[in-house]
Amino acid sequence: MTLHEITVSTAEIRSAWSEIQAGRNPLGERQAGSGVTGHIRAGHYSGEGVSSFIGCSGAQMQGWLQDGYYPDAPERQMPGGVVEITTPFVDLVEEDGDLILSQALGGEDLCFARWEEFEAQRGLTIRACIGMHAGVSARVLGAYMKWILTVIDAAERRGVAPDVELYITTKGSFRGDHALVVRIPLVKAGEIVDAVAWRAFLTPGAFRSLGFLALGLAADKVGRSLVSGMGFPTNREWSVELDGDVLTIECPGGAGEFPADLMDAKLETAYAGA
């Protein structure tokens, strides 16, 4: 089996979305028979009409990209043990410490270092799978996306600036024995990248609009043609795992409901083991 692992940036997706708003198809001719091109041709990514399959209108998504998405949701608390770590801190002094040669040679008065421990914020990367098959209701996808946002917001309220990445795993997106992983980095700690617009990628309808565009752009990058159904998801279950500083959130390929209580419990268990 050939595995294609492709990163598509939010800037690339937003550029493609802007092309659609201007009445143009941003995808190559190879994608002419794909579902994403079908949605573009049908006008599902522009205008006021709400597609029940996608979960929003093009105009709604355009508004979220411009203004952000801040849904009503209960605030989640992130346990302090997940973010508090002990790290060494250097205090420069005139004497009675470790000599810092560069400071001394530079004629600095404070050329000795004393090392002290202090509580610091621990880094965190949140990776969330967002791909589900066509039989899943947009309502279920929307509830799941909102839940992911509450996890991110809880980390930010604790003073953590997490890296955030979405990913989609499929098989059969291209003809032949191919597997595909598309990664969409949303947030990089310490960098202002799509400071408001990244939240639109976790809205109702985001997977079947912006996510589908990411699949098309990924196919163009490797010179392959998406099949009409764009493949089927290979992710299998609801899970939350914290491995070191990486929190991985996964969904099954299909679901009739979003199990919020189950995912809350899995999140609590993951944090408790940190």
The identity of residue 233, as a single letter, is P
The predicted structure's pLDDT at residue 60: 95
Residue pLDDT, tens place only, 53-98: 999 999 999 999 999 899 887 777 776 544 443 444 455 555 666 5
Residue pLDDT, tens place only, 23-55: 999 999 999 999 999 999 999 999 999 999 999
Among 98-112, 165-179, 204-218, the least confident range: 98-112
The predicted structure's pLDDT at residue 97: 65
Asked whether residue 134 carries a pLDDT value surpassing 60, the answer given is: yes
Strands (E), the chain: 2-7, 84-93, 98-99, 112-121, 125-129, 163-171, 178-187, 232-233, 239-243, 246-250
Q: Which CA distances in Å does 123 have to 67, 158, 164, 212?
A: 27, 11, 11, 30
Classified as helix, coil or strand, 174 is: strand
The predicted structure's pLDDT at residue 111: 55
Taking the domains of the chain in order of start, what are their residue ranges? 2-77+123-272, 87-120
Q: Please report which confidence band the pLDDT of residue 188 belongs to, taking 50, 70 and 90 as the band edges.
A: confident
Mean pLDDT of 136-147: 97
> Whose CA is closest to 13, among 184, 230, 131?
184
| β-bridge pairing 239-243 and 232-233 | unpaired
The predicted structure's pLDDT at residue 92: 56
Tokens, residue 156: 């930010």
Burial of 106 (0-12, 13-18, 19+ CB in 10 A): exposed
Q: Please report which confidence band the pLDDT of residue 143 belongs to, taking 50, 70 and 90 as the band edges.
A: very high
Can you tell me which residue has the tokens 């991985």?
A: 248
Alpha helices in the chain (DSSP H): 10-21, 35-41, 58-67, 101-105, 138-157, 212-221, 260-272
The predicted structure's pLDDT at residue 273: 79
Task: Give the span between the Cα atoms of 105 and 266, in whole angstroms.
Answer: 54
The predicted structure's pLDDT at residue 223: 94
Residue pLDDT, tens place only, 222-252: 999 999 999 999 999 999 999 999 999 999 9
